Structure 1
Amino acid sequence: MIILSSKTNYSKPFSLLTSLFFMWGFITVMNDILINTFKGIFSLSPMQRSLIQFSFFGAFFIISLIYYLISSTKGRDPINKIGYKNGMAISLIVCGIGCVSFFGAAYVHSYYAFLGSLFILASGVTMLQICANPYATILGEKGAESSRLNLAQGLNSLGTTLGPIVGTILIYKVFSDGELTAFSISKTYLAYGIVFFILALVVKMSKMPSFQNNETVGTGAAVFKHKHLTLGILAIFFYVGSEVAIGSWIVEYLKDDKIVGASEEDASYFLSFFWGGLMIGRLMASFALNDIISKKKKYISMLLVGLGVFTMMYIVTGIKIHEGAFNFSPIEFSKIYMYLFFIALCFGAFILSKGKPARTLVIFSSINLVLLVIAVLAKGPLAFIVIISTGLFFSIGFSNIFSLAISNLGKYTSQGSSLLVMAIVGGAFLPMIQSVIIEHVDVQTSFIIPILGMVYLIFYGLKGYKQEVQ
C-alpha cells in the first residue's frame, strides 16, 4: 500500500515529472505536422494520412491491453512491482528507440516503415502515461490531485504548443536544403531520440520516490465493478478522439477557401493557438481546482497565466527562418485579437465551475459543443477563431476525467490507469472516421465527429462520474 507523508516536499520530483509530460506532448503533436508533410513526400489520400494517428494511438490500445491482461491474469500489477520511477525510465528508452528508428524508415523510403516507427514510439509514450498520470495524482497532498494533474498537463500543453513550431522549423528549414525529403523528418526525430535517452538517464539517477506497492490486485475483471471507471474509459475515448481529430484536420480546415484559405505553413502556426489553448486552460485549472489556495490568489494567478501564455504564443509564432536567418514576423493582431475574448470566457467558466472537476467538465464541454456547431456552420474569420479557440475548453478534459475515474480505486489504481490509457485509442479511430467524411463530403462537415464526443463528456460530468460499485 502506498502511504504518503503530508510533510514531505515533492517539488523537485514533480518538476522532473512535468518535463516528461512536456516531452510526450511535444512528440505527440508532431503527428499533426507529419500528416501534412508525408502528403507531399508520398502523395497520400486523407484516409492514408489518417493511418499516422491510427498507428500512433493504436499502440495505446494494444500496449495498454497487454498491460491489463498481464496484471489481471497474474494478480500482480507490473508498475506496482518495479515502481513508477523504473517504469518511467524504461518508457523513455522505448520512446528513444522509436525516434531513432525513423532513420531506418527514411533509408528504405517507406511510408509503412515510418508507421512502424511511430508505433514503437507510441508504445513508449503509452507506458510513460500509465506510470506518470497516476504518479502525478499521488505525488503530494490529498485534495489537490486534480490540480496537480492539470498543472502537469499544462506543461504537456506547452509541448503541444511548441511542437508544431519547432517541428516546422526543423523539418522545413534546418534539415531541408529547399527540397523536403524523408531524411528531413528522420534527422528531426533522431534529435528527439537523443533527448529521450538523456531524460531516461536523468530519471533513473534522480531521487524521485519509486512508490512500489506489493498488494495483489486479484485476477479477473474485478476492476470493472467500479462503474465510474468503466464510463470514464469511454469518456477518455471520446475526449482524446475529439481533441486529436481537431488537431489532425485543423490545418486542412484553415486551408479551405470557405474558411480563410491559409497556406500550409501559416495554418501550421495557427495550429499552435489550438494546442496553446490547452496549455492556458490547464495552467488556469491548476489554480482553479486547487482547494488549498485562497480565491484571491486563484483569480490573480489565472489572469496572469491567461495573458502571459497568450503573449508567449504570439511572440513564439512570430519567429520564422528566412534564407537561413531568424526574423520576427508576428501574425496580424487583427486576425487573433478575438482569442482574448475566449480566454476571458475560459476564466469565467472556471469561476462558474466553483473548483469542482465534474461541474468544470460539463461547462467546458458545453461551450465546446457550441463552438464546434459554429465551426461546422460558419465561414470566414468567425469559423477561424472558434475552431482555434476550442483548445481552451478541451484543456481540462483529460485530467478531470482521469482523476474522477481513478478516484478511490485503491490497489486497482495502476490497472485502472492502464485501461484509461488504452482508451486513448479514440485518437486513432475518430480522426479516421473524420477522414472518410472529408473524402466524401468536405472538411467543414467532418467536424460533426467531435461534436458527438462533447455530448458524451457532458453526460459523464453530469452522471457518469458518480461512484457505484456493481
Structure 2
Amino acid sequence: MSITKEQTKTGTHPQFFILITVFFFWGFVAASNGIFIPFCKTHFNLNQFQSQLIDTAFYGAYYIGSLLLYIFSVASGIDILNKIGYKNGIILGLTISIIGALCMIPAVNAGSFGLILGAFFVVALGFSLQQTAAQPFAIALGSPESGAHRLNMAGGLNSFGTTIGPLVVSFLLFGNVAEGAGASADIKSINSLYLILAGVFGLVAIIFAVSKLPRVTTDEKFEKTTKATNSLLVMTALVGVVILLGLFTEISSLALISLTIIGVLVILFVSYTSAIKNSDGWGAIKFPQLILGMIGIFIYVGTEVTIQSNMGALLKLPEFGGLDESHISHFISLYWGSMMIGRWIGAISVFNLSKNSKIIATILVPLLAFAVILGVNMLRGTDVSDLYIYVLCIGVLIAVMFWGEEKPTKTLLAVSVLGVIAMLLGLFTTGKVAVFAFISGGLCCSVMWSCIFALSVVGLGKYTSQGSAFLIMMILGGALIPPFQGGLADVPAIGIHWSYIVPIVGFLYLAWFAIRVKGILKSQGMDFDKPMSGGH
C-alpha cells in the first residue's frame, strides 16, 4: 500500500476528526433500531417476526453492498474502491445515505412499513460503502505507527453513537415521558431526525470533497476467484428465492428464515470441503480459519443484534417490568453502552502503559464508560437508579478480561462462555436479574469482533484483503438471526422469553470456534495468541 506525499508523516491528519463522524452515525442509526422496532410493531400492528424485518433490511444492505462491490471488482478485474480512492468511496457512500435519509420522510408520511424498510436499506447501503472505505482510510490519515490508536478512537466514537442513539430517537418519538405514562407518539415526529441526518451527511460529504486528503493505493493484483464468487451468488440467489416464496406462498415465515440460515451455513461448509479437494479458484476460502471465521462473524453479528432487537417485546411482559416502548430507551442504551465499556477496555492496550498503570486503567476505564452511560441517560431526564446494580456485571467482565490476558483465543473463549452463562441466567429467571443478564450480552459481544476477525485472517498472506471482504459480507447474520428469533417468539409454545435460546446457541458456537481455530493455527505453525490491539 502506498500513500501520496500529502500524507502526514507524524501525528494525525486533521481531517481524521471529520472522518470519524461517520463511525458515530453508523452506531447511532443501528442502535436506534432497538427503539424503532417495538414502536413500529405497535404502530403497524406487526407480529414479532415482521418487526424484525427492520434489521433484515438494515443489515442485509451491508451484505448486498459488499457483494456488489466485490462482484463489480471481479467482473472488471480491478479493485473498484482502490480505483476511485477511499475519499471518493466515502463521499459516494454518504451520498447514498443522504438519499436513503430523504426517502425516509415520504415513507413515514405515507405510513408504509414497506417503504420505511426500503429507506432503511438505502441508508445502510451507503453505510456499507463508507465502512469498507473508512477503516483503511483512518489508518492512512496519519503515521502508520498510530493507526491502531486511530481505529480504536473511531470505534469508541461508534460505541458512543450506539449509546445515545436510542435516547435521541426515544425523545423524538415520545418526548420526556413521565414514569408510568403511556406511549403516545406520531411516527411523523421521526422526520426531523432524518432531515438532520441528511444534512449532516451532506455537510461531511462537502467537507471531504473540498479537503486535500492522501490518496491510498495498493499495488496488489486483484485475483479472480470464480468458485468463491459462484458460492456467493448461490447464497444470494437462495435469499432471493426465499423472499419470493414469502411473498407468493403461504409457507410460514419461521420455516423460510430457518431455511435461509441453514442454506447459508451449508453453502459455506460445501465451499470449504470443495476447496480442500481443489483450492484453484477458491482464494481465501481454502483457509479453514477464514471459513470458520465467516460463520463466526455471521453468528456473532446476529447474536449481538438479536439480543437487543427482541428486548423491546421482552420488556413488555409483566414479569420483566411491563414497559411500553416509551420507557425502554435506558435499557437499550445500556445494552449498546455495554459494547462501549468492553471496547474501551480493549483500547487500553494501544497505549504504552506500565504494568501497574494498565491494571489500574483496566479497572477505571470501564467504570468511566459506565458513568458516561448514566450521564447521557440523566441528561435525557431518565431515572437511572435502577441501573446502578449493573456495576456488578461490569466487575465480572473486568475479571474475565484480566484472565484473557489480551490474547484473542483465550479472550474469545472466556467471553463466549460468559455469554452462555448470562443467557442461561436470563432464561431461567425473571425480573431485573433476567433483564440485566440479557443486557450483559453486550459486554460479552463487545470484544468479539476484533478476536474473530484477527483469528480469521491470520496466515492468509496475499488473500488477507479478500478474506476481510468475505468477513464483512457475513454481517448478513444481523439480517437473518433477529427475525428467526422473532419467528420463534411468535410460536405460542415458545414466546419471547424462551426465544432467547437463540443467543445461547450463538455463544456456544463462538466458544467452539475459539477452541477449534487455536488448534488450526497451531497446526499451521503460527503464533495464535498475540495480544489484541483493541475492539471493533
Q: Say yes or no: TM over 0.5.
A: yes
Instruction: Tell me by how many angstroms 1:411 deviates.
Output: 5.1
What is the match of residue 303 of structure 2? Answer: 242
What is the match of residue 291 of structure 2? Answer: 230
The partner residue of 1:294 within 354, 360, 369 is 354
Instruction: Tell me by how many angstroms 1:454 deviates.
Output: 0.9
The partner residue of 1:380 within 428, 431, 441 is 431
Instruction: Tell me by how many angstroms 1:329 deviates.
Output: 4.4
Question: In structure 2, how many angstroms separate the alpha carbons of the residues matched to 1:141 and 1:286?
Answer: 18
Instruction: Tell me by how many angstroms 1:409 deviates.
Output: 4.6
Secondary structure of the residue that 1:239 maps to in structure 2?
helix
Secondary structure of the residue that 2:495 maps to in structure 1?
coil
The partner residue of 2:191 within 168, 181, 186 is 186
Q: What is the CA deviation profile of residues 288-322 of structure 1, one whole-angstrom value per residue up to 9, with x for unaligned ones?
A: 4x3744323323333332222212211221234xx
Alpha carbons of 1:6 and 1:349: their partners in 2 closer, same or farther (altered >3 Å)? farther
Question: In structure 2, how many angstroms separate the alpha carbons of the residues matched to 1:160 and 1:405?
Answer: 26
Alpha carbons of 1:411 and 1:210: their partners in 2 closer, same or farther (altered >3 Å)? farther
Question: In structure 1, how many angstroms separate the alpha carbons of the residues matched to 2:64 and 2:133?
Answer: 16
Answer yes or no: is 1:444 the counterpart of 2:449: no
Alpha carbons of 1:203 and 1:404: their partners in 2 closer, same or farther (altered >3 Å)? farther
2:3–2:215: 8 Å Cα contact kept in structure 1? no
What is the match of residue 99 of structure 1? Answer: 101
Alpha carbons of 1:226 and 1:131: their partners in 2 closer, same or farther (altered >3 Å)? farther
Which amino acid is the alignment partner of residue 454 of structure 1?
F
1:80–1:414: 8 Å Cα contact kept in structure 2? no
Alpha carbons of 1:227 and 1:18: their partners in 2 closer, same or farther (altered >3 Å)? farther
What is the match of residue 166 of structure 1? Answer: 168
Question: In structure 1, how many angstroms separate the alpha carbons of the residues matched to 2:195 and 2:58?
Answer: 18
Alpha carbons of 1:347 and 1:179: their partners in 2 closer, same or farther (altered >3 Å)? closer
Q: Which runs of 5+ in 1 are unaligned?
A: 321-327
Q: What is the CA deviation profile of residues 224-266 of structure 1, one whole-angstrom value per residue up to 9, with x for unaligned ones?
A: 2333222221111111100100110112222222223233222
Alpha carbons of 1:144 and 1:189: their partners in 2 closer, same or farther (altered >3 Å)? same
Which amino acid is the alignment partner of residue 276 of structure 1?
G
The partner residue of 2:515 within 450, 462, 466 is 462
Secondary structure of the residue that 2:490 maps to in structure 1?
helix
Question: In structure 2, how many angstroms separate the alpha carbons of the residues matched to 1:11 and 1:305?
Answer: 26
Question: In structure 2, how many angstroms separate the alpha carbons of the residues matched to 1:364 and 1:32?
Answer: 23
Q: What is the CA deviation profile of residues 145-202 of structure 1, one whole-angstrom value per residue up to 9, with x for unaligned ones?
A: 766544432221111100000111122239xxx9633322233212111111112223
Identity of aligned residues (%): 35
Which amino acid is the alignment partner of residue 117 of structure 1?
A
What is the match of residue 422 of structure 1? Answer: 473
Aligned positions of 1:260-299 closer than 5 A = 260-288=321-349, 290=350, 292-299=352-359
What is the match of residue 325 of structure 1? Answer: none
1:130–1:417: 8 Å Cα contact kept in structure 2? no
Secondary structure of the residue that 2:328 maps to in structure 1?
helix
Answer yes or no: is 1:345 the counterpart of 2:396: yes
1:23–1:159: 8 Å Cα contact kept in structure 2? yes
Question: In structure 2, how many angstroms separate the alpha carbons of the residues matched to 1:435 and 1:215?
Answer: 44
Secondary structure of the residue that 1:198 maps to in structure 2?
helix
Which amino acid is the alignment partner of residue 319 of structure 1?
L
Instruction: Give the number of equivalent residue pairs.
Output: 456
1:134–1:413: 8 Å Cα contact kept in structure 2? no
Secondary structure of the residue that 1:338 maps to in structure 2?
helix
Answer yes or no: is 1:86 the counterpart of 2:54: no
Q: Which runs of 5+ in 2 are unaligned?
A: 177-182, 226-281, 526-536
Aligned positions of 1:26-65 closer than 5 A = 26-65=28-67
Secondary structure of the residue that 1:387 maps to in structure 2?
helix
What is the match of residue 397 of structure 1? Answer: 448
Which amino acid is the alignment partner of residue 213 of structure 1?
T
TM-score for the superposition, normalised by structure 2:
0.78
The partner residue of 1:109 within 91, 108, 111 is 111
Question: In structure 1, how many angstroms separate the alpha carbons of the residues matched to 2:320 and 2:88?
Answer: 48
Alpha carbons of 1:293 and 1:76: their partners in 2 closer, same or farther (altered >3 Å)? farther
Q: What is the CA deviation profile of residues 402-451 of structure 1, one whole-angstrom value per residue up to 9, with x for unaligned ones?
A: 23334455554443333222111101111111011111121111111111
2:422–2:438: 8 Å Cα contact kept in structure 1? yes
Q: Over the residues paired in the alignment, what is the CA RMSD in angstroms?
A: 2.7
Higher Rg: 2
Question: In structure 2, how many angstroms separate the alpha carbons of the residues matched to 1:414 and 1:200?
Answer: 26
Alpha carbons of 1:3 and 1:248: their partners in 2 closer, same or farther (altered >3 Å)? same
Question: In structure 1, how many angstroms separate the alpha carbons of the residues matched to 2:145 and 2:482?
Answer: 35
Question: In structure 1, how many angstroms separate the alpha carbons of the residues matched to 2:43 and 2:112?
Answer: 10
